[in-house]
Amino acid sequence: MSSRIAVVPGSFDPPTLGHLDVIRRAASLYDQLHVLVVHNPRKEAMLPIAQRQALLEQSIAESDIDTEVVVASWSVGLLVDYATDVGAGVLVKGIRSQVDVAYETPMAIVNRHLAHVETVFLLPDPAHALVSSSLVRQVASLGGDVTPYVPPAVARFLGTPASGL
């Protein structure tokens, strides 16, 4: 039987507990995962791509995930080209709401047209349904505590909130 390989793409700026939850669920479904940090030109970045990659590697290493996970980055060309290059026939995306469905559906259809790459939508634990990287960026920039929203490695990197403010 051929191995089942999937790509989990995202901006991961920074990685959140919601991201890790989706990666964990995808890891239980596939033999190998490529977690891919993709440059999203529609978003102003907080962290350099290499930093996001390192935080994902640490977060996955410190989790209970035992599937083979490759963490990589992609900034030029089509996402499906990366998927095809590594032998992945599936992209996995986390879906928190109807807004995510509306945003992701056209991309899923185009990616299937472009390269016969399917998209699988996974629902995260509802505990993470309201967590987003943009929310974490905002809380962190205002000196708030992000530990309820991000893996421990990311919380350590972003630091503890300023006290007494």
Residue 49 binds ligand PNS (CB under 6 A): no
Which among 4, 25, 63, 96 is annotated as catalytic?
96
Name the packing angle between helices 49-61 and 17-27 (round to 10°): 60
Name residues contacting ligand PNS, limited to 77-116 (CB under 6 A): 78-79, 107, 110-111
Give yes or no: 96 in active site.
yes
Interface characters, 2-31, with ligand PNS (x: CB under 6 A): -------xxx--------------------
Angle (CA) 156-160-163 rounded to 5° is: 170
Give yes or no: 19 in active site.
yes
Q: List interacting residues with ligand PNS (CB under 6 A).
A: 9-11, 38, 40, 43, 78-79, 107, 110-111
